[in-house]
Amino acid sequence: MTEALWPQLLSSALVGTGRRPCRPLSVPGPLATVLGEAPAELEPPGLLSATAALTVARRAGAMPVRVPVPDPAPQETGEVAPHKASVRLGLLLLDAGSDHRQRRSLLREWLELAQQRNFLAAPRHLSALVDAATADPTLRPAVIAVGGLRLGWLAAQGPGRWAWIEQPGPSVPDIDEWHTGRTAARVRYLESLRANDPAQGAALLAQVWQQERAADLAALIGACAEGLGAEDEVWLERALDDKRVQIREAAVQLLAAIPGSAYLARMADRALACCQVTGSGQLTVTPPAQFDAAMRRDALTQKSPQGWGERAWWLVQVVSAAPLRCWSALDSDPARLLDYQIGDDWAGVLREGWLRATVAQRDEAWALRLCRLPVVRGAHLTELAAILPAGTLAELAGEALRQQTDRIADLLSAAPPPWPPALADVVIAWLDRSAAIDDPGWWHLLNVIERSLHPAAVSAVNEILARCGEGRYREILERLALTLQTRYDMHQEFA
Amino acid sequence: MRTLSGGSGNVPRMSEPTRWTADQVLAVAPDQSSLASARKLAGSADWSSVGVAQQAPVLWGLCKGSGKSPYQTCVDLTEPAYRCSCPSRKFPCKHALALLLKWSAGAVPVDEPPAWVEEWLESRSARAAKKAEKVAAPRTEAQELAAQKRAQSRHDKVLSGVAELQQWLSDQVRNGIAGLESGGYRHFEPVAARLIDAQAPGLAGAVRRLATIPSSGAGWEERTLAEMSMLHLLAGAADRLDTLPPDLAATVRSRLGHPVTTEQVLAGAAVRDVWQVIGTRDLTEDRLVARRVYLIGRDTGREALVLSFAAPGQVLSADLVVGTCLEADLCFYPGSFSLRALVASRHGAPELMVEPEGSTSVAAALDRLSRALGADPWLMSLPLLIDGVIAPGERWHLVDPSGDALPLEPGVECWRFVAAAGGAVSKIAVEWGPAGLVPLTMFRDGEVLAA
């Protein structure tokens, strides 16, 4: 009954009683005590009094609404992490303090430990974990693994909110998706078809070739990396005649992965044509003088990016695409070429080409040789070191530590934790000797060490600490010991 | 409830005070960076002679700092109160927090308190006794008379401000409120300033809150008119204060902003109960952070609100920890529905509370709410403890097992509760407000979760 009065009051108040006087048609019983029986017109104070009475009546007389009760989450089958480990996770998830990076790396380790031991995160931590993984996609697989059934249920409560949690589509996409689906779904379909029957997949792609847009076609060609074989070379070579550069680029990606392909032979010829051994341990470099149609067909680009000369850019593309094996034409141990005397200004360009080729082809011999070059540093060094087997890397890091160069951190970042005992021993022995270090690179190195050294090494670090005098180095060691202790405790809490 | 025996008699003293959970320790941290330091410190080897007393709820330890002698850190769990010889001005400092974290993790052995701890405890109880003496001293007749005179002259000033407010409100309605949306704060500020001059800070605050509504999105017209009408109601009540029943008059006075001294509150009747701390919420108003701590009496079922304030950079009081309960005397501010209270005296240390008692259905909570609004129509917040589930959606709701639901405040979400409960009914503490509910705490499986 009061509901009929409210709109009249509001509409008068909105435009003003001066312009739209409020003349309520009827006043409900209880309100008559406030307003009097059926007043002809409400002046502003009367209007406000009536509104106040209605407002209190609405608040005090509010009725519950009816909404569906959410479906309960499925019974969890996995086991939640031990209590102490859960408490630790809660602390790590707090958005606390300035040591953001360290906390993130501890969180990552916690998730790995839980995953290895088949433990789940406690449900009360899931929303914070989901937030962390939404911000940092690299955490997602681990969060999905420790999220249990509750995580999928949670995602279903907020449809579309966390697409990354929702399970990927059916494992075998059906043909409808090929005809009407988005590019990603079509790529998935083609991949699954290629995995079973590469020829049929190639045939299917050939059918649609003419009508596809360049970007889609490039993605579909990429899908044919699945089930790739020598018999694909024919249609891939044909693709190189396409006018669209995206298509040619997608095709050479696959051709480079077919051993003995004509494309690789062409690249090898081009590369070797640029280099000539002109004496013992001497190399003369002549980059391509012209950019020809054949180079364009093989998806090399003519226009150089900023900072590159044209010819240097052509050279680096040619060398990085050529198979490293081809260099045995110049030296029986081709990686030795890195030590050759190279005239002019081309030495750096050539090395850059070799470096890219080594990373792309994951060649251990070349990687080791490149890692030993003092000029190779930074992200390049880490990329190369990641190609090396753990033992070799430990050896290399040992050499670097003995030389006290600033390349240590770049090398060590490539060594996946936990470090093998040999590497850990080298690092600890080095910590013991390095009493006084005043090097800005130290903090980077410390970050790598505290993240990757096995936490049991804390006792060794404490021993060093006991012998260490006051000063800056002691502070560094204390911080390291504390982090290792935290990690050690964290491992114990899962026991 | 795990540790308390029934009834309101003496709480049996445990051989060792109940340990807090890590979450509860986190709740008393003044800021995030002290917490981070404390977390590191708790695991470090810098601690020596740590202990917890068997007879008194007190923790202590020595922590090696940068100086020669170690810092002496001590926590009295009853209030709780903290002391540390470090130079930090944060309260509690990272050492006290670290000590609490250690204790919470079970890494503090029972021991006899050393002399320096005993000394501190004694000096504290001496200070408390002195304070109590001061409170107990009655005012002289002359003081009483002067106070009455001051109150009267103040009230006259307030009435002149109230008259202007009434006129202003009528003008708004006469000219139409549709234009307020584009008018901005400036339209409201002169009348708020005038009310400050008239010594009615409560009314001034209400006008400033009103000023924020026209820019608060869809439906602002209804909300603005509703709040204007409540101000009109309050102004009318102020006008005839003498004719109102004393309790209602006290409510009106407090809404106007008349100060009530701590002494006056403590002079009122105390309510002794086992007070369950069910939730807390920090709000910033006028550059001041206000911490609302909500309690519900285990035996009386009565709600209470303990307020504390801090200027920016200052640390809020953290002496009431969510998820604990304490037997204490509470004195309520006068009024027809009194929610705000002071802790007058404590009986024993706070105890850990697994699940609070006194949770209800949505229907019963609404019943409770309507009675409270019947007594104080200007009520803007009330704690409710409801057995239910948080249901996400376009608009979120708290729904009880019968399907009765109340909407949360627009824009409020609480995925943490959703994930933790997994659709199961839990005890959920919320703050009711005219715009909807704000979740505060969820009690579930012996865990206390803040929103």
Question: Which of B226, B407, B415 faces A51 most closely, judged by CB atoms?
Answer: B226
Residues in chain B with CB shorter than 8 Å from the CB of A48 are 169-170, 173, 228-229, 232-233
Q: Is the pLDDT of residue B10 over 50?
A: no
What pLDDT, on the 0 to 100 scale, is given for residue A162?
A: 86
Cross-strand partners of B382 = B432
The alpha-carbon gap from A55 to the nearest alpha carbon of chain B, in Å, equals 6
What pLDDT, on the 0 to 100 scale, is given for residue B313?
A: 64
A67/B399 CB distance under 8 A: yes
Q: Which of residues 196-255 of B touch A (CB under 8 A)?
A: 221-222, 225-226, 228-230, 232-233, 236
Average pLDDT over residues B398-416: 93
Interface with A, mutate which of B229, B406, B443, B447 (most A CBs under 10 A): B229
Query: pLDDT grade, residue A97 (50/70/90)?
Result: low
For B449, name the nearest residue in chain A, comparing CA atoms only. A124
For B399, name the nearest residue in chain A, comparing CA atoms only. A69
A51/B105 CB distance under 8 A: no
Q: What is the pLDDT of residues A316-343, one digit of tens each?
A: 999 999 999 999 888 888 888 888 888 7
B43/A486 CB distance under 8 A: yes
The alpha-carbon gap from B157 to the nearest alpha carbon of chain A, in Å, equals 22
**Least reliable range by pLDDT among A467-471, A476-480, B133-137:** B133-137
Contact predicate A115/A39, CB 8 Å: no
B105/A87 CB distance under 8 A: yes
Residues in chain A with CB shorter than 8 Å from the CB of B394 are none
Chain A contact present for B43, CB below 8 A: yes
ipTM of the complex: 0.77
Cross-strand partners of A80 = A120
Average pLDDT of every residue of chain B:
86
Q: What is the DSSP letter of A167?
A: P
Between the CA of residue B418 and those of A124, A341, B259, B403, B450, what are the distances in Å? 9, 67, 41, 17, 12
The alpha-carbon gap from A146 to the nearest alpha carbon of chain B, in Å, equals 14
**Least reliable range by pLDDT among A406-410, A456-460, B15-19, B48-52:** B15-19
Q: What are the extents of the domains in chain A? A: 2-60, 79-157, 175-258, 390-495
Q: What is the pLDDT of residues A59-93, one digit of tens each?
A: 998 999 998 888 899 998 889 999 889 988 988 88
Percent of chain A whose pLDDT exceeds 90? 37
Query: DSSP states of A307-348 as a string?
Result: T--HHHHHHHHHHHHS-GGGGGGT-SSGGGGGGSEE-TTHHH
Average pLDDT over residues A226-242: 92
Q: Is the pLDDT of residue B11 over 50?
A: no
Residue type, A403: Q
What pLDDT, on the 0 to 100 scale, is given for residue B138?
A: 64
Chain A contact present for B114, CB below 8 A: no
Question: Which of A10, A87, A123 faces B419 most closely, judged by CB atoms?
Answer: A123
Query: pLDDT grade, residue B137 (50/70/90)?
Result: low
Residues in chain A with CB shorter than 8 Å from the CB of B377 are 52, 56, 60
Q: Residue B361 is encoded by which pair of tokens?
A: 């259905």
Average pLDDT of every residue of chain A:
86
A60/B401 CB distance under 8 A: no
Question: Which of B169, B393, B419 faces A150 most closely, judged by CB atoms?
Answer: B419
Between the CA of residue A284 and those of A87, A341, A347, A493, B258, what are the distances in Å? 64, 9, 9, 61, 94
pTM over 0.80: no
Q: Is the pLDDT of residue B3 over 50?
A: no
B174/A44 CB distance under 8 A: yes
Question: Which of B174, B232, B370 faces A49 most closely, judged by CB atoms?
Answer: B232
What pLDDT, on the 0 to 100 scale, is given for residue B6?
A: 37
Residues in chain A with CB shorter than 8 Å from the CB of B39 are 91, 96
Q: Is the pLDDT of residue B432 over 90?
A: yes
What pLDDT, on the 0 to 100 scale, is given for residue A404?
A: 62
What pLDDT, on the 0 to 100 scale, is given for residue A167?
A: 60
The CA radius of gyration of chain B, in Å to the nearest whole number, is 24
B391/A158 CB distance under 8 A: no
Q: Residue A461 is encoded by which pair of tokens?
A: 């670090």
Residues in chain B with CB shorter than 8 Å from the CB of A69 are 389, 391, 399, 401, 403, 423
Percent of chain B whose pLDDT exceeds 70? 92
Chain A contact present for B406, CB below 8 A: yes
**Element housing A276 (H / E):** strand A275-277
The alpha-carbon gap from B429 to the nearest alpha carbon of chain A, in Å, equals 16
Chain A contact present for B307, CB below 8 A: no
Greater confidence (A309 vs B143) lies with A309
Query: pLDDT grade, residue A96 (50/70/90)?
Result: low
Chain A contact present for B375, CB below 8 A: no
Residues in chain B with CB shorter than 8 Å from the CB of A49 are 229, 232-233, 236
Q: What is the pLDDT of residues B347-383, one digit of tens each?
A: 988 888 888 999 999 999 999 999 999 999 999 999 9
What pLDDT, on the 0 to 100 scale, is given for residue B5?
A: 36
A55/B229 CB distance under 8 A: yes
What pLDDT, on the 0 to 100 scale, is given for residue B134?
A: 65
Query: pLDDT grade, residue A107 (50/70/90)?
Result: very high
Query: pLDDT grade, residue A378 (50/70/90)?
Result: confident
Contact predicate A166/A157, CB 8 Å: no
Greater confidence (A108 vs B183) lies with A108
Q: What is the pLDDT of residues A122-168, one digit of tens each?
A: 999 999 999 999 888 889 999 999 999 999 999 988 887 888 887 65
CA end-to-end distance (rounded Å), chain A? 66
Q: What is the number of CB-based contacts under 8 A between chain A and chain B?
A: 186
Q: Is the pLDDT of residue A356 over 90?
A: yes
B419/A66 CB distance under 8 A: no
Most confident by average pLDDT, A60-69, A100-109, B66-75: A60-69
The alpha-carbon gap from B44 to the nearest alpha carbon of chain A, in Å, equals 6
B39/A96 CB distance under 8 A: yes
Residue with tokens 């859960």: A86
**Least reliable range by pLDDT among A464-478, B232-246, B373-387:** A464-478
Query: pLDDT grade, residue B387 (50/70/90)?
Result: very high
**Least reliable range by pLDDT among A10-14, A211-215, B130-134:** B130-134
SS3 string of chain B?
A: CCCCCCCCCCCCCCCCCCCCCHHHHHHCCCCHHHHHHHHHHHCCCCEEEEEEECCCCEEEEEECCCCCCCEEEEEECCCCEEEECCCCCCCCCHHHHHHHHHHHCCCCCEECCCHHHHHHHHHHHHHHHHHHHHHHCCCCHHHHHHHHHHHHHHHHHHHHHHHHHHHHHHHHHHHCCCCHHHHCHHHCHHHHHHHHHCCCHHHHHHHHHHHHHHHCCCCHHHHHHHHHHHHHHHHHHHHCHHHCCHHHHHHHHHHHCCCCCHHHHHHCCEEEEEEEEEEEEEEEECCEEEEEEEEEECCCCCEEEEEEEECCCCCCCCCCCCCEEEEEEEEECCCCCCCEEEEEEECCCCEECCCCCCCECHHHHHHHHHHHHHHCCCCCCEEEEEEEEEECCCCCEEECCCCEEEEECCCCCCHHHHHHHCCCCEEEEEEEECCEEEEEEEEECCEEEEC
What pLDDT, on the 0 to 100 scale, is given for residue B17?
A: 64
Most confident by average pLDDT, A183-192, A406-415, B9-18: A183-192
Average pLDDT over residues A373-398: 84
B232/A18 CB distance under 8 A: no
